[in-house]
Structure 1
Amino acid sequence: MKATRNIGMLVALISSVSMLAGCSAPILASQGAPVQAPSSGAIDEYFSNWPAEADPALVGRRIANNFVARNFDFQINSFHRWIIYPEVCAWYGALQVAELSKDQALKEQLIGKFDQFLTPEGARRLSPRAHVDYRITGVVPLEIYLLNGEQTYLEIGRDYADKQWATTTPDGITTEARYWADDLYMLPVLQVQAYRATKDPKYLDRVAMTMVAYLDKLQQPSGLFLHSPDSPFYWGRGNGWVAAGMAEVLSVLPPEHPNYARIMQSYKLMMAGLLKYQNPEGLWLQLIEQPDFWPETSGSAMFAFAMVEGVKRGWLDAKTYGPAARKAWLGLVKYVDSAGNIKEVVVGTNKASNEVGPDLEVQKKFYYDRPRKTGDLHGQSPMLWTAAALLR
Structure 2
Amino acid sequence: MKIKCFHSLRLSVTVIFVSCVAHVAFAQALPPKAAVMQAMVKANQYFMQKWPDAGKPIFTNIERPSNIWTRAVYYEGLMALYNIKPDKAYLDYAIQWGEKHKWGLRGGVETRNADNQACGQTYLDLYKLNPQPVRMEAIKASMDRMMASNKVDDWHWIDALQMGMPVFVKLGNLTGDTAYFRKMYELYAFTKYRHAGNGLYNPIEKLWWRDKDFAPPYKEPNGANCYWSRGNGWVVAALVRTLDELPKTDPAYPEYLQDYKDMLAALLPLQRLDGFWNVSLKDHTHFGGKELTGTALFVYGMAYGINKGLIDRKTYLPAVIKAWNALVKDCIHPDGKLGYVQGTGKEPKDGQPVTYTSTPDFEDYGLGCFLLAGTEVYKMK
The verdict on a shared fold, with TM-score over 0.5 as the criterion, is yes
In 1, distance between residues paired with 2:283 and 2:179? 40
1:189 matched to 2:169? The reply is no
- The correspondence for 2:191, drawn from 214, 219, 242, is 214
Residues 166-205 of structure 1 correspond to what in structure 2 (within 5 A)?
A: 166-169=148-151, 173=152, 175-178=153-156, 180-205=157-182
Query: What SS does structure 2 have at the residue aligned with 1:284?
Result: coil
Query: What SS does structure 1 have at the residue aligned with 2:297?
Result: helix
In 2, distance between residues paired with 1:68 and 1:160? 29
In 2, distance between residues paired with 1:369 and 1:123? 29
Pairwise CA distance, 1:262: 1.8
- The correspondence for 1:374, drawn from 359, 368, 371, is 359
Structure 2: state its 5+ residue gaps.
Answer: 1-22, 194-198, 216-225
1:385 matched to 2:372? The reply is yes
Corresponding residue number in structure 1 for 2:137: 155
Query: What SS does structure 2 have at the residue aligned with 1:176?
Result: coil
- The correspondence for 1:340, drawn from 324, 327, 336, is 336
State the one-letter code of the partner of 2:48. V
Q: Structure 1 residues 195, 279: CA separation in 2 closer, same or farther (over 3 Å shift)?
A: same
Verify the 8 A CA contact 1:132 1:186 in the aligned structure 2: yes
1:80 matched to 2:80? The reply is no
In 2, distance between residues paired with 1:248 and 1:46? 29
State the one-letter code of the partner of 1:56. V
Corresponding residue number in structure 1 for 2:290: 295
Q: Deviations over 1:58-96 (max 9, x none)?
A: 222233333433155625458234321110110121122
Structure 1: state its 5+ residue gaps.
Answer: 1-40, 352-365
Pairwise CA distance, 1:305: 0.5
Residues 206-355 of structure 1 correspond to what in structure 2 (within 5 A)?
A: 206-216=183-193, 217-220=199-202, 221-232=204-215, 233-292=226-285, 293-334=288-329, 335-350=331-346
Query: What SS does structure 2 have at the residue aligned with 1:234?
Result: coil
Q: Deviations over 1:328-369 (max 9, x none)?
A: 111111212233222111111146xxxxxxxxxxxxxx6277
Pairwise CA distance, 1:166: 4.1
Q: Structure 1 residues 58, 161: CA separation in 2 closer, same or farther (over 3 Å shift)?
A: farther
1:56 matched to 2:36? The reply is yes
Q: Which has the higher contact order (CA 8 A, sep 6+)?
A: 1
Pairwise CA distance, 1:49: 4.4
In 1, distance between residues paired with 2:41 and 2:62? 30
Q: Structure 1 residues 46, 113: CA separation in 2 closer, same or farther (over 3 Å shift)?
A: farther
Q: Structure 1 residues 110, 339: CA separation in 2 closer, same or farther (over 3 Å shift)?
A: farther
User: What TM-score comes out, normalization by structure 1 length?
Assistant: 0.75
In 2, distance between residues paired with 1:80 and 1:215? 33
In 2, distance between residues paired with 1:166 and 1:46? 53
Verify the 8 A CA contact 1:81 1:125 in the aligned structure 2: no
Verify the 8 A CA contact 2:117 2:139 in the aligned structure 1: no
State the one-letter code of the partner of 1:177. W
Query: What SS does structure 2 have at the residue aligned with 1:130?
Result: coil
In 2, distance between residues paired with 1:67 and 1:163? 35
Pairwise CA distance, 1:318: 0.9
In 2, distance between residues paired with 1:248 and 1:91? 14
Residues 84-123 of structure 1 correspond to what in structure 2 (within 5 A)?
A: 84-118=68-102
Query: What SS does structure 2 have at the residue aligned with 1:168?
Result: coil
Q: Structure 1 residues 110, 192: CA separation in 2 closer, same or farther (over 3 Å shift)?
A: same
Pairs aligned (count): 327
Q: Structure 1 residues 198, 78: CA separation in 2 closer, same or farther (over 3 Å shift)?
A: farther
Q: Does 64-73 or 260-269 show the bigger shift?
A: 64-73
Verify the 8 A CA contact 1:224 1:273 in the aligned structure 2: yes
Residues 9-88 of structure 1 correspond to what in structure 2 (within 5 A)?
A: 45=27, 49-50=31-32, 55-69=35-49, 70=51, 71=53, 74=57, 76=59, 79-82=62-65, 83-88=67-72
Verify the 8 A CA contact 1:209 1:259 in the aligned structure 2: no
Q: Does 90-99 or 107-116 show the bigger shift?
A: 107-116
Identity of aligned residues (%): 24
Query: What SS does structure 2 have at the residue aligned with 1:280?
Result: coil
1:134 matched to 2:116? The reply is yes
User: What TM-score comes out, normalization by structure 2 length?
Assistant: 0.77
Aligned-residue CA RMSD in angstroms? 2.9
Q: Structure 1 residues 78, 230: CA separation in 2 closer, same or farther (over 3 Å shift)?
A: closer
Q: Structure 1 residues 337, 161: CA separation in 2 closer, same or farther (over 3 Å shift)?
A: farther
Q: Does 244-253 or 67-76 show the bigger shift?
A: 67-76
Q: Deviations over 1:268-327 (max 9, x none)?
A: 111011001111221100101112222221011111101111111111011111221122
In 2, distance between residues paired with 1:46 and 1:274? 25
